[in-house]
Amino acid sequence: MPKIQKTEEEWRRELSPEQYRVMREKGTERPFTGKYETFWESGVYKCGACGAPLFASETKFDAGCGWPSFSAPKVPENIEEHTDESLRMVRTEVTCANCGAHLGHVFDDGPTDTGLRYCINSASLSFEKQ
């Protein structure tokens, strides 16, 4: 169970409509439209809802899929994975362990040594420059 518990009304007040749609309603932003898709500064990507550190910029790579992609979480305990059987397919959903926000999905087709591609919505992230 997420550590941060808020009502949906509280989340609606705190998040932009797009963030709410993606993080609370498990939506997806359109490919190649997110602010972090072609963003390459050094720092830490955090949960856009609660600020938990999720991914280090060193693990980000260009997967050509239209969303920011990472090979591994910065703090594995801050990520939870769940089976997602929506859209007539089986995928692995990724959520923030701290607040339950939907982040995106993880696939086993990554080009790095982990073999993973965490495909994450920009709307689910904030960024702290180092």
Residues with catalytic roles: 119
pTM, 2 dp: 0.94
Write down the domain spans for the chain: 8-129
pLDDT, tens only, 102-122: 999 999 999 999 999 999 999
For the stretch 37-69, pLDDT in tens is 999 999 999 999 999 999 999 999 999 999 999
CATH 2.170.150.20, applies to 8-129:
yes
Q: What's the rounded Cα separation, in Å, for the pair 3 and 36?
A: 26
